[in-house]
Structure 1
Amino acid sequence: MNQKLYLIFLFISLKTFSQTEKSKIIQDSVKKEELNEVVITASRRSENLMHSPISIEQLKSAEAKKMGSATIYEALENVKGVQIITPSLGFKVINTRGFANSTNVRFAQLVDGIDNQAPHLGAPIANALGANDLDIDKIEIIPGTAAALYGMNAINGLANIQTKNPFEYQGVSVQQLTGVNHVGNIDRFSPKVYSQFNLRFAKAFSEKFAFKTNISTTGGTDWVADDRTDLAPLANASTNLFGTDNPAYDEVNGYGNESANRKTLNLNGKNYVVARTGYRETDISDYEIKNYKADVGFYFRPKQGHELAVTYKTALINTIYQRSNRFRLDNYNLNQYAIDYHTPVFQVKVYATTENTGDSYNMRSLAENMDRAFKSDDKWFADYSTAYKNAITSGATVADAHRMARNSSDQGRFTPGTEAYENKKNELIDINNWDIGAALRVKSTLVHGEGLINWDKAFASFFEKIDAKLLSGFDYRNYIIVPDGNYFINPVNASENLTYQKYGGFTQLTKNLFQENLTLGATLRIDKADYFDATFTPQFTAVYAPKETISFRTSYQTGYRFPSIFEGFSNVNSGGVKRVGGLRIMSDGIFENSYTKASIDKFQAQVNTDVNSNGLTQAAAIEKNKNTIQKNPYTYLEPEFVKSFEFGFRGMTLNRNLFIDADFYYNSYENFIAQVEASVPNTNDPNLIPTALYSKNTQNRYRLWTNSKSKIYNYGGSLGLKYRIDQTFTALTNVTFTKLDRTDDKDGLEDGFNTPEFNVNGTLIANNIWRNLGASVTARYQNNFDYVSFLVSGTVPAYWSMDAQMNYGFKKGISAKLGATNLLNKPYTSILGGPSIGGLYYLSLVWETKI
C-alpha cells in the first residue's frame, strides 16, 4: 500500500516537474526571442531591436490578433507614440509626434519597403492598398523623422508593413469578419452590418519558385459626420443676430454656406452678412463603404540569399475622405506594379503606382452647385433682399424677416430624397469644374526606383577588421499628372503631362567600439527636386549597451519635406476661391499683388460695425478703415525643415519578465508648408483698392500654398511597459506625452499641432485561460486638444474608450474571435469635421491549412 502511494506521489511529482520545466522553457524561449527581436526599418538593415539607434516600435501579427481591434492595422492605435485619427470608418490616418491632419503628408507608409501613397495626395488612403490581416507578419514604426534614410518626406515618421514570404508561410487562409455598428440610435442609422472577407493563398513549388495571392473585401455603413456648430457665430454680432437667428449660419458639416457663399447685403440701412442655405452632409453624401483590394506575387530564389519578387496590387475604394473639404471617393482605383531583387550585398527596387479618382466628388462643391443649379447667387440674393424688405414692411421682426426671406428665396430648391434632387446630384458629380459641378477627376502615376549596397558584405574581410558597417543607397522618383483642366493644369504646355521629379542618395557608416558595447553611426543624405536647390540631411547616432538586457540611445537628425503635387501644382476653383500651388510656375504675380483674407475680413467687419452702429455711410466707413488691409507678406514655396534630438532607453528586468522602452525628443521646424488666403483687387488704382476689397465681386480670391514664417518647437516622450505576469497573463501599457513648446515669429499660418498632450493605453492579455480560450481588454484615453484646419478649427473633446475580445482555437486550423471596439458605445470624435465614432461589435472566423 505504501509503495503504491509512493509510486503515485512520484508520478504526480514528475508530471508537475515536467509541466513546470516545460512552462519555464517556453517562457525563457519567449524572453530570449523578445530580447533578440530583429527589426529592419530603423537602419534599413537587419539589427537587434535592443541596439536600434533610434526609436522604433513593433507590432507583431500574433500580438495584434490578441487585441480588441478588428484589424491589425487598427491595432496600431495601441502602440506607443502612435496617434490614429478617423475621418471615416474606411479611412484611418497614422501620425506620430504632432502636427496631425487628415492628409498626413509628413508620415510615410510602406508595404515591404514600397510606398503605397496615392500619388496626387502625397499620402496613403489608410490601408486601402496595403496588406490584409492574413498576410501581415509585423508592422514597424519609426515615430520620428526618417528622412535621412528614406527621403520620402517622412519628417514625422514612417510605418513599414511587412508581409509573409510565401517560401516560409505556405497554405490557404480564409477569414470572415462580420459585425454591426450604429447600435443604440447614436446617429441617423439603425444598426448596420459590417463585413470583411480576407483570403490568402501561398505555395512554394520548389526551393526556387513560389507564388502568393491575397484578396480582401470590406463593406458596411460609415460613421456619420453631423456637427451643427456655427462656424460664423459673430458674423452679424453688430445687429444682435446670433444662433439660429444668424443669417450667415454655417454648420461644420453643412456645405454651401461657407464664407465664399456669403454676401453683405444692405437692408433698410443696415449691413447684414447672409449665406446661402447649403446642404448637410447627411443629405448629400453616400455613407456606404465598399472597398476591394487584391495582390499577386511571383518569387524566385536563384541561389541562397538571393530573391526576386514581382508583385501587382490593386484597390477599388468607395468611402469618405477628408482634407480641406470632405470628399466622397467612388470607384477610386489604385494599381501598383513592383520588382524587387535583393541579395546580402545589394538590393534594387522599382515600382509604379497609378491613380484614377473614378467617380469621386467634392461634397462642398456639390452643395454649392446644387443651390446654384436652381437659382444663381445674384438672383437668390436679390430675391432675399426683396423678400426681407416686404417682410419688414408687413411688420415682421428682423429675425423673422430673415427667416421669411430665406424661405421665399429657397422656393423651388432641390429637396433631398426627391427624384429631381437625385438626377441633379448625379449630373453635378460628373461635371469636372467646381464652379458649376463637383467631380474629382485626377489621373496620376508615381514611378520610383531605388538601390542599396552593403559595402561591408561586398568587402567583408576589410570591414570585419575595422569592426564597421557601410551602407549606401540612392533613389529616384517622378510624379506624372494628367492635366484635367480643373484640379491640375500644365502651365507650360496644356497638351502635355505635368511631371515633378526628385532624386537623392545617402551613405551610412556605423562603427563598433569597446567590444561592441558602443556603436556610433553617421549618415549623410543629399536630395534634389525640380524647382528647388539640393538639400543635405545629416544624422548622427550612438547606442551604448553595457550588457545584453540594457541599451541607451541618442541621436541628432534632420529632415526635409518637399511640397507634394497638390501643394505645388494645384489649380482649382472652389466656391469662388481659386486654390493655387505655391510654386512660382503656378502662382507667379499673385503673392506680390494680393492682400490677406484675415485683414480683409477684419476690414469688412469694421466697416459693417461703423455702418450699423456708428451711423457712417459705407464710403466713409471704407475710408476710415482702409489701413486695416494688409499686403500679402508671403512668397513662393520652399521645402520644410526639421531638426530633431532624441534620447532613449530599452531594458529588461525582473528576471526578464518586464520590458521597458522609453524615449524623449525635442524638435524644431522651419518653413512649415501651409495655406494663406489672399485677394487681388481688380484695380491698380491705390485709391480704389479698399472699395474693391470690400465687395467679393470686385476681387479675385485665392488660397495659396506657401511657407509659414513661424519657427516651431515641440517636445515629448513616451514610456512603454510589457510585463509577463505568468504563462497566462501579460500586461501592456504605454503613455505618450506630446507638447507644443513655443512658436517664434508667430504668423498664424503654422499648421495646427492637432495632437493631445496625453495619450494612454493599457491592455491585459490572457492566453489559454481554459484550453485554447484567450481574452483581452484594452482601455484608451486621450485629453482634449486644439484642432486647426481649413475645414474647421476648435477643440476636440477628451475621450476614453474600451476594446475587448475573446478568442478560441478549434481543431483543424479554425479560430474564432468575438470582439468589440468602443465596447461601451460612447460616441467620440477624433478630429473636428469628422464623424462621431460609436461601437463596432464583431465575430471573426479564420480557417488556415498548410498545402
Structure 2
Amino acid sequence: MKIKIYLFLFFISLKCFSQTENSKINQDSIKKEVLNEIVITASRRSENLMRSPISIEQLKSAEAKIMGSPSIYETLENVKGVQIITPSLGFKVINTRGFANTTNVRFAQLVDGIDNQAPHLGAPIANALGANDLDIDKIEIIPGTAAALYGMNAINGLANIQTKNPFDYQGISIQQLTGVNHVGNTDRFSPKVYSQFNLRIAKTLSSKLAFKANLSTTGGTDWVADDRTDLAPNANASTNLFGADNPAYDEVNGYGNESANRKTLNLNGKNYVVARTGYRETDISDYEIKNYKADLGLFFRPKKGHELALTYKTALINTVYQRSNRFQLDNYTLNQFSADYHTPVFQVKAYATTENTGDSYNMRSLAENMDRAFKSDNQWFADYSTAYKNAVTNGATVADAHKIARTTSDNGRFEPGTDAYEAKKNELTDINNWDIGAALRVKSTLVHGEGLINWDKAFTSFLEKIDAKLLSGFDYRNYIIVPDGNYFINPESDSENLTYQKTGAFTQLTKGFFSDKLRLGATIRMDKADYFDAKFTPQFTAVYSPKKTLNFRASYQNGYRFPSIFEGFSNVNSGGVKRVGGLRIMSDGIFENSYTKASIDKFQAQVNSDVNTLGLTQAQAIEKNKNTIQKNPYTYLEPEFVKSFEVGFRGMALNQNLFIDADFYYNSYKNFIAQVEASIPNTTDPSLIPTSLYSRTTQNRYRLWTNSKSKIYNYGGSLGLKYRFDQTFTALTNVTYTKLDRTDDKDGLEDGFNTPEFNINGTLIAQNIWKNLGASVSARYQNNFDYVSFLVSGNVPSYWTMDAQVNYNFKKGISAKLGGTNILNKPYTSILGGPSIGGLYYLSLVWETSKT
C-alpha cells in the first residue's frame, strides 16, 4: 500500500511541475484524438468510433508502447471488458463476457481480417501466427457476439489486429527486449533470462509496388504449474484415509494418477481406491520456450483506391498448451497463405492455413504410459495388494501399509532425470496412440474465401439521396483433416481426408434520420454447415447522436456457434477412455446405450461405503445401490445459440478532456456444447449391468461431445474513463462487471462461466515529463471466481498486480523502455491447473530508421 501512495505522490509532484512549465498548453487535448477516430471492425466498414452501433474497444500501438506490458498483445489485459487467461508464458487467451477457457472457440481472432486459428482446435494459439509488435497499428475488439457480420462462431467476441501498410509506414525497425523472470525463489527455478526480438522491414519499390517483412523470436523459461491440491480427497473417506494418507491421491499438476488410473482393491475385507503414482509436471517438463514467427507481404496498387496484398506467414511453436490436459507443443508449425484485393466498391479475400503438430505430446498420457511401460496396471495392483497384506501382517498401520505397498510396487520405475527415463520418454512421445504412447500428431488445413460489396459505393447517388448504406458479403470455409488413427479418423473412408464445410452470407442496411442524428441498422445473416440445417442470424442497431460528443446506442442480435472439428469429429483413446465427437457419424449408438459416469461414480462410492461401514458383501452392496445408475439422457450435437441485448453510451465531458464509454448487456444461451462421460457395460443382460459397471474392466468408457440441457443467462456492463490532464498526464480506468444470472434446467454440463465478477484496471501515463522521458504505472484487480474444466474445477483466488515502465526517446530513432509486469512479484494464477505467474522485468530497445 505504501508503494502505491509513493507512486501516486511522485506522479502528482511531476504533474505540478509540468503544469508550471507548460501553463499555456491547450487543455482541449482529447477532442481530436477521439472524435476523429475511425474503426472498421464493428460494421465491417470505416465508421467513426463515437457512432459505432455496438461496443468496440480500440488499443492503438502508440498507446500500448507506453504501458508496462512487454508486448502490445499483453497490453490487452488493460482494455475495458477484456479477460486474459495465461496457460503459459508463451500462450495467452483473450475472452470477453464470460465462459472463458483455454481453448476459447467462442472468441475469434483476426489479423487484417484473416482468421489465425489453428484449424483442428478452432481457436488461435494465442498470438503465435499474429503480428509482431513493430508491425501492429492497432487492435479492435468487439466484446459480445459478432456472429451477424462475421459468422465463424464469434458469439463471445472478436479481436482484429490491424497491421501497418508498407505504403504508409516505411523503413527498418528493430526491437530487442531482454528480461528476467523466476525472481525471488518462488518456484523451482533461479532467475532466468527472457528474450524477444522483433524485426520489420518495409519499402515502396515504386508508386504502385511495396513490400514488408517481419521476423520475431521469443525465448525463455515458462511459468511453473505445480498445484498439489488433491482432486480425489474423499475417495477413501469411508476408511478415514485423507491427505497424504489417501492412496487415491491425485494432485492437480500430477498426471497418471487420475480416475482412469485408479482401481478399487479389496484388502483384508476393506475396499480401498488406489491410484498409480504418476509424475508431477515439474518433474517431466523442462518449461523451455522457443517460439518463432515470420511473414512476408507484397502489395500492389494498380490505381487509386485499389490494392492487392499477397502475404505468407509462418510460425514455429515450442511452449505449453492447456486444454482438458496439459500439452507440450514441440516443433508445432503453422503456415498461412493469403490474397486480398480491395477497391472502394468490393473486396475479395482468400487464405489457407496449414497446421502440423510436429513432435508435440500429451503430458498426462506420457505420465500414465511411463508408469505402464515399467509395469502393467494388472501387475502393479497385484504387487500392491501383496505388499499391503505383508505390511499389515508385520504390524504396520493401515496408512503406513499403503505407503509401504506403493514404495514396493514402484521399485524400478523410470525416474525423471535418468538416461533410462529420457530414452523411454523419447520412445513414448513418438507413439501416436494414447493408450500406449503420448504423441500428438495432427495435420490439418483451413481454406477460406470471402467477399464484400459496398452497394453505396456502386450506387452512390441513389443511396446518398436516401441517406442509406448497404453492404453485402459471403464466405466459404472448409476444414481438411488428415486422419491419424488416434486423434481423428474418417468414419466413411480410411483413405480419404476428413472435411467439414461452412458457408455464410449477410446483408446489412443502415439509414439515417433527422439529419443523421438517428441511425438505424439491420443485418440478416444465413449460415450453413455440414450435418446441420441453415441458421439465420438477425442484428438490429440504433445510434442516437444529439451532438458529436453525445452518442447513445442499442442493439439486439442472435448468434450461432457450430461445433469445431475437435468437438464434432474427435476419436481419441486416452487412458481407457475414448473421447468421441458428438456428430452422429462419429458416435452413432453410444448415447442410446450408455450410462452417465456421474451416476456410476456415485454408485461405486456407495457400494464401497456399504462394504466398509455396513459389512455387506460386494454383491449385496451392488444389489442395494443398483438404481443409482442412470441412463445417458444426452444426444447428438446441435449448434450453440445466444441472444444478446445491449445498450451503451459514448461521450465527452469536462471541456472535452474526459472520454466516457459505458455499456450494459444481457445474454441468454442454450445448447451449450459440452462433454459428458458415460459407459457402455460389456453385457446386454439387464441383471448383470450393475455388476459390469462396478468394475472399470467390464465397461467401455467414453467422453462424448453433446449439448447441455441448461438455459443460461448472464449480464454485465463496463465503464471506461479516459481523462487528459494536459499534454503530459493522462489517466485511464475501467471497471468490468460480469455476472452469471441464473441457469434453468441445470444439468451440470453447462460450461464453466470461468470469469471474475469484477475486473478493475487503472493506469496513469506521463509523457515528456522531462525532455523525452515518459513513464506509466498500471494496477489491475480481479476478484475470486469459480473455475470449471475437465482438468480441474475449483475456485481461482482473487489477485491484484501492478505493471510499470519508464521510457526515453533518444535521437536518431532510438527508444528505450525499462519496465516490469507484476512488479511486486506476488505470484498468482489466472486459471486452475495453470502456472503460477510471477514478476517479469525487462529492458526494451527499439531502433527505427523512420517514425512509424
Question: Which TM-score bucket, shorter chain as reference?
Answer: over 0.9
Contact 2:779 2:800 in 1 (8 A): yes
2:751, 2:22 → 1: CA distance? 58
Q: Deviations over 1:752-808 (max 9, x none)?
A: 000000000000000001000000000000000000000000000000000000000
1:242, 1:636 → 2: CA distance? 39
1:424, 1:217 → 2: CA distance? 31
TM-score (norm 1): 0.97
Letter in 2 for 1:336: Q
Contact 1:593 1:632 in 2 (8 A): yes
Q: Deviations over 1:319-349 (max 9, x none)?
A: 0000000000000000000000000000000
Q: Deviations over 1:683-703 (max 9, x none)?
A: 000000000000000000000
Give the aligned partner of residue 675 of structure 2.
675
1:183, 1:31 → 2: CA distance? 43
Alignment of 1:767-846 (within 5 A): 767-846=767-846
Give the aligned partner of residue 326 of structure 1.
326
Give the aligned partner of residue 766 of structure 2.
766
SS in 2 for 1:591: helix
Give the aligned partner of residue 621 of structure 1.
621
Between 1:284-293 and 1:795-804, the stretch displaced more is 284-293
Contact 1:286 1:328 in 2 (8 A): no
Alignment of 1:14-93 (within 5 A): 23-24=25-26, 28=28, 30-93=30-93
1:18, 1:558 → 2: CA distance? 54
1:266 aligned onto 2:263: no
Letter in 2 for 1:296: L
Contact 1:592 1:632 in 2 (8 A): yes
Letter in 1 for 2:440: L
Give the aligned partner of residue 503 of structure 1.
503
Distance 1:19 1:728, change over 3 A: closer
Give the aligned partner of residue 423 of structure 1.
423
SS in 2 for 1:426: helix
1:360 aligned onto 2:360: yes
Alignment of 1:572-591 (within 5 A): 572-591=572-591
2:386, 2:510 → 1: CA distance? 77
TM-score (norm 2): 0.97
Q: Deviations over 1:339-397 (max 9, x none)?
A: 00000000000000000000000000000000000000000000000100111111110
Give the aligned partner of residue 551 of structure 1.
551
SS in 2 for 1:688: helix
Alignment of 1:711-730 (within 5 A): 711-730=711-730
1:499, 1:18 → 2: CA distance? 67
1:50, 1:135 → 2: CA distance? 26
Question: How big is the shift at 1:205?
Answer: 1.3
Give the aligned partner of residue 540 of structure 1.
540
Give the aligned partner of residue 339 of structure 2.
339
Give the aligned partner of residue 113 of structure 2.
113
Alignment of 1:108-187 (within 5 A): 108-187=108-187
1:234, 1:593 → 2: CA distance? 30
Letter in 2 for 1:828: Y
Give the aligned partner of residue 849 of structure 1.
849
Contact 1:176 1:196 in 2 (8 A): yes
Give the aligned partner of residue 658 of structure 2.
658
Give the aligned partner of residue 467 of structure 1.
467
SS in 2 for 1:134: helix
1:73, 1:561 → 2: CA distance? 25
Distance 1:18 1:101, change over 3 A: closer
Letter in 2 for 1:798: S
Q: Deviations over 1:457-514 (max 9, x none)?
A: 0000110111100000000000000000000000000110000000010000000000
Letter in 2 for 1:424: K
Give the aligned partner of residue 14 of structure 2.
none
SS in 2 for 1:544: strand
1:437, 1:355 → 2: CA distance? 21
2:639, 2:444 → 1: CA distance? 22
1:18, 1:409 → 2: CA distance? 77
SS in 2 for 1:829: coil
Number of residues paired by the alignment?
833
Contact 2:29 2:727 in 1 (8 A): no
1:32, 1:505 → 2: CA distance? 36
Give the aligned partner of residue 443 of structure 1.
443
Letter in 1 for 2:588: D
Question: How big is the shift at 1:738?
Answer: 0.1
Structure 1 moving runs of 4+ over 3 Å: 16-21, 27-30
Letter in 1 for 2:105: V
Q: Deviations over 1:382-427 (max 9, x none)?
A: 0000100111111110000000000000011001110000100011
Letter in 2 for 1:454: N
Contact 2:30 2:657 in 1 (8 A): no
Identity among equivalent pairs (%): 87
Letter in 1 for 2:277: T
Give the aligned partner of residue 384 of structure 2.
384
2:23, 2:538 → 1: CA distance? 52
Question: How big is the shift at 1:18?
Answer: 13
Give the aligned partner of residue 599 of structure 1.
599
SS in 2 for 1:244: helix
SS in 1 for 2:686: coil
Give the aligned partner of residue 12 of structure 2.
none
SS in 1 for 2:826: coil
Letter in 1 for 2:448: H
2:101, 2:554 → 1: CA distance? 28
Distance 1:456 1:268, change over 3 A: same
Question: How big is the shift at 1:19?
Answer: 7.3
1:774, 1:554 → 2: CA distance? 39
SS in 2 for 1:302: coil
Give the aligned partner of residue 218 of structure 1.
218
Give the aligned partner of residue 312 of structure 2.
312
Consecutive unaligned residues in structure 1, runs of 5 or more = 1-15
Question: How big is the shift at 1:31?
Answer: 2.0
2:534, 2:273 → 1: CA distance? 49
Question: How big is the shift at 1:850?
Answer: 3.2
1:662, 1:354 → 2: CA distance? 40
SS in 1 for 2:446: strand
What is the root-mean-square deviation in Å for CA atoms of aligned residues? 1.1
SS in 2 for 1:471: strand
Contact 1:327 1:360 in 2 (8 A): yes
Letter in 1 for 2:54: I
Question: How big is the shift at 1:32?
Answer: 1.4
Give the aligned partner of residue 9 of structure 1.
none
Give the aligned partner of residue 375 of structure 1.
375
Q: Deviations over 1:41-79 (max 9, x none)?
A: 000000000110000000000000110000000000000
SS in 2 for 1:601: helix
Q: Deviations over 1:84-117 (max 9, x none)?
A: 0000000000000000000000000000000000
Give the aligned partner of residue 11 of structure 2.
none
Letter in 1 for 2:370: M
1:550, 1:265 → 2: CA distance? 71
Give the aligned partner of residue 566 of structure 2.
566
1:709, 1:823 → 2: CA distance? 45
Alignment of 1:264-303 (within 5 A): 264-303=264-303
2:233, 2:30 → 1: CA distance? 59
1:609, 1:177 → 2: CA distance? 59
1:416, 1:341 → 2: CA distance? 54
2:766, 2:806 → 1: CA distance? 9
1:54, 1:30 → 2: CA distance? 22
2:603, 2:117 → 1: CA distance? 42
Contact 2:83 2:96 in 1 (8 A): yes
Contact 2:34 2:50 in 1 (8 A): no
Letter in 1 for 2:342: H
Give the aligned partner of residue 12 of structure 1.
none
Give the aligned partner of residue 611 of structure 1.
611
Question: How big is the shift at 1:33?
Answer: 2.9
Letter in 1 for 2:608: N
Contact 2:813 2:850 in 1 (8 A): no
Contact 1:314 1:333 in 2 (8 A): yes
SS in 1 for 2:399: helix
Letter in 2 for 1:210: A
